[in-house]
Amino acid sequence: MRLLARHLSHLRQANVSLGQLSPFSTMLTSRVLYNHIEDVERLEFYCKGGYHPIEIGRCLRDRYRVVHKLGFGTHSTTWLAQDIQQSEYVAVKVCTADSDGKEVGILAQLTEPTAGTADCGKAMIRPVLGSYTVSGPNGTHPCFVTTPARCSLADAKEASRSRLFQLDVARSLAAQLVMAVAFTHDKGYVHGDLHLGNILLQLTSKFNHLSDQQLYEEFGFPDPEIVRRADGKPLASGVPSHVFSPVWLGEASDKISLTEAKLVLSDFGVAFYPARESRFESYMPLEMRPPEARFEPKTPLSFASDIWSLGCAIWAILAQRSFLDSFLFSEDDATGDQVDALGPLPLEWWEKWEGRSKEFMANGEPKEGRFVWSWDQRFEDSIQQPRRETGMGALDEEEGDAFSEMVRSMLSFKTRDRPNARQVLNSSWMKNWAIPAYEKSRG
């Protein structure tokens, strides 16, 4: 069940990126078909410009001995390795050869010793421990080394029956996420990909005391799956003979304790610096994508676009279900769902929206007889009822009102009406519920 859940979660994340492969991508996926293997990277991305084939047991740079696979995205595979110089486990992210390699520079700037030294948000972004490039049959790949994390919040939710975090854990995670985003924005960067798949949980330092053997006994041995072409022909030189499912170091969301709930904001692969570059396209999953990316495609995205996604992410941390229906099939579905939840669109957007008459009589007025999932009903169905039913703690009226006020303001259609991240940190819900839970977690 956990495997299936993770597979679905990866598919959902991958689905998004596949349509919009990369802002920089020059990779042409290979046309070769392979026999399907569950819960692994897309095999057709082993091609010129794509992934680098990695073998478990191999030593990268004569320093990082690969022990297991941690995960994969559309632009990378990430490996758990033993740093033989420092005798500690590290995560090595090996990017596709078409990656622009900017992520490492952004992480280095965000974590440099002078960057906001006393800022709590800085502690939630992992410093780069080393970076290099590796050349192989598919090209030259930017690689960088960070500390390994336990699992993403998306995977933790998928691994639990309730798909919920304990209330104080959810409050603390939400506070940490806003701190991390506020810090990132203060440094001039927009993250651009804020969703629960990119929000990771820290591993405890005890992990470093495990030998390879103990690690395998506790978390499972790598299970090589043979790669075979569907046409039976031999594999090209850039395709690995075996691939591996990621190791599961995580925990089901409902089992995570307050002290374990330490967050890492990861994947700055599409982050950008709006003062120096204009970005018009959003790479967010449809259900968390800011609406201006659709209705104002000629206006560059900025910090406020992260605030929309941050509002959706905070909702998803507290809730069992995402704010918008996660089975949206088109941009029209997403816009329709946003109007049902948040009310009428700005007039100029409404007039621009060609698909408006499918579900609506007029702006904010649904067609007769159609079910409308309102804000209050979503709050009840996604947050309160599941929390009550599973004994995970519902929000009382005062907290519920403060939470709704904060998230609703972040989900204002017009970017100028959204608070900035520092203002979010100063909201009543943050000050009276979320930050106190975070402080409790630090003892």
Ligand X SMILES: Nc1ncnc2c1ncn2[C@@H]1O[C@H](COP(=O)(O)OP(=O)(O)OP(=O)(O)O)[C@@H](O)[C@H]1O
93 marked as part of a ligand binding site: yes
Among candidate residues 91, 96, 103, 102, the one with its CA nearest the CA of residue 52: 96
Task: Kindly tell me which of 96 and 338 has the beta carbon lying closer to ligand X.
Answer: 96
Helix (H) or strand (E) holding 93: strand 88-95
- Tokens 């030189």, residue located: 237
Alpha-carbon distance of 364 to 344, in angstroms, equals 4
Task: Kindly tell me which of 25 and 382 has the beta carbon lying closer to ligand X.
Answer: 25
Alpha-carbon distance of 92 to 254, in angstroms, equals 29
Helix axes 303-318, 397-410, angle to 10 degrees: 150
Considering the complex, what minimum distance in angstroms separates the CB of residue 202 from ligand X?
9
Task: Kindly tell me which of 131 and 198 has the beta carbon lying closer to ligand X.
Answer: 198
Considering the complex, what minimum distance in angstroms separates the CB of residue 80 from ligand X?
7
Point out which residues bind ligand X (CB under 6 A). 17, 70-76, 78, 91, 93, 146, 148-149, 152, 193, 197-198, 266-267, 269
Per-position b or e across 7-39, b if 16+ CB within 10 A of its CB: eebbebbbebbeeebbeebebebbebebeebeb
φ, ψ of residue 186 to 5 degrees: the values are -60, -35
Considering the complex, what minimum distance in angstroms separates the CB of residue 66 from ligand X?
14
Considering the complex, what minimum distance in angstroms separates the CB of residue 88 from ligand X?
13
Task: Kindly tell me which of 68 and 163 has the beta carbon lying closer to ligand X.
Answer: 68
Considering the complex, what minimum distance in angstroms separates the CB of residue 102 from ligand X?
11
Considering the complex, what minimum distance in angstroms separates the CB of residue 78 from ligand X?
4
Residue 329: burial class (beta carbons within 10 Å; 0-12, 13-18, 19+):
exposed
Alpha-carbon distance of 378 to 398, in angstroms, equals 17
Helix (H) or strand (E) holding 77: strand 76-83
Distance set, CA 86 to CA 92, 129, 208, 270 (Å): 14, 11, 11, 30
Considering the complex, what minimum distance in angstroms separates the CB of residue 292 from ligand X?
21
Task: Kindly tell me which of 95 and 178 has the beta carbon lying closer to ligand X.
Answer: 95
Residue 78, classed as helix, strand or coil, is: strand
- Tokens 């820290």, residue located: 202
Q: Is the dihedral of CA 323, 327, 330, 332 positive or negative?
A: negative
Task: Kindly tell me which of 6 and 294 has the beta carbon lying closer to ligand X.
Answer: 6
Is there a contact between 254 and 160 (Cβ–Cβ < 8 Å)? yes
Per-position b or e across 245-254, b if 16+ CB within 10 A of its CB: bbbebbbbbb
Question: 76-83 and 365-366: which strand pairing?
Answer: unpaired
Considering the complex, what minimum distance in angstroms separates the CB of residue 166 from ligand X?
22
Task: Kindly tell me which of 148 and 240 has the beta carbon lying closer to ligand X.
Answer: 148
Task: Kindly tell me which of 152 and 176 has the beta carbon lying closer to ligand X.
Answer: 152
For ligand X, the nearest residue by Cβ is 73
Q: Which residues are annotated as a binding site for ATP?
A: 93
Q: Which residues are annotated as a binding site?
A: 93
